[in-house]
Amino acid sequence: MKKITTALLIILGVTIGHSQENDLPENIGDNFSLEGALALFKKSSSIAEFEKLINEENNNVNNLDLNNDGNVDYITVDDIKDNDTHVIVLSTYLDQNEKQDIATIGIEKTGNEQAILQIEGDTDLYAENTIIEPFETESSMNQVQHGPALAAINTNRVSVNVWFWPSVRFIYAPRYVAWTSPHHWGFYPKYWSTWHPYRHTIFYAKAAPHRSYFHRVASRRVIVARNVYLPKRRHSTIVIHNNRKTVVIKESKKAKTSKVYKHKRR
């Protein structure tokens, strides 16, 4: 009887462990909703407000714990401005010295009262070319040439002119000064308090509403913004791997070996 009980406990332990491992994201960055970031950027009236919103638990955008301390990381927001191009950089401090970029929102003015934007996940955290942009649907009718059949209705996704988003109008205002977050490691706003990260499947479900009006695309359209950003990209020496189930963290900058930590989830 004891042998049977022991065997059942081992099987149960293996099953629970396997279930927990399968509940982790394919890429670490999947615990930050790029669609959610765009949804909050669209409704924000300033970059300061945008930074506040993405760091609120009930907005279901951020579930990252990159330094594996058991708490969700605070996301800072900075704007790199180059003429009519803006790059909104979302980053987090992993300790006093290490900062890792999470994603960038590239914004380019394409004409009088016209602008486009895309958000792209950093390659340390996301799959290569993880690019999200807003979309709208446009319906068209194809008239049938012969017979009594009804006309066919086609629905297509079309690009969005983001010029009239409050946040976009804010950064293109004549007196706007490029925003730099005043917050850093150990110095966070009084209104903010961290929380324990959720299991990925729970977080994915919570973030589902954000995916209604933003979709992944195969090509990058904000080329100038990308070129402006790359020389200033912040890349941490701590997060060095992004395969499923683990985060590999270096013991020190000079270390030849690495520690492997599994994420804790609710």
Tens-binned pLDDT, residue by residue, of the chain (266 aa):
555 544 444 444 433 333 444 578 899 999 999 999 999 999 999 999 999 999 999 999 999 999 989 999 999 999 999 999 999 999 999 999 999 999 999 999 999 999 999 999 999 999 999 999 998 765 445 555 555 555 555 545 567 999 999 999 999 999 999 999 999 999 999 999 999 999 999 999 999 999 998 999 999 999 999 999 999 999 887 765 444 544 444 544 443 333 434 444 45
d(CA 225, CA 243): 28
Residue 19 lies in a domain: yes
SS3 content of the chain, % helix, strand, coil (to 5): 30, 30, 45
Could you tell me the residue range of the domain that residue 40 belongs to?
2-132+159-261
> What Rg do the C-alpha atoms of the chain give, in angstroms?
22
Q: In angstroms, rounded to a whole number, what is the distance separating the alpha carbons of residues 47 and 70?
A: 28
Does the residue 68 lie in any domain? yes
Q: Does residue 147 lie within any of the structural domains?
A: no
Q: How many domains does the chain have?
A: 1
- 143 in any annotated domain: no
232 belongs to a structural domain: yes
The answer as to whether 32 is a domain residue is: yes
Q: Is residue 152 part of a domain?
A: no
Query: Does pTM surpass 0.85?
Result: no
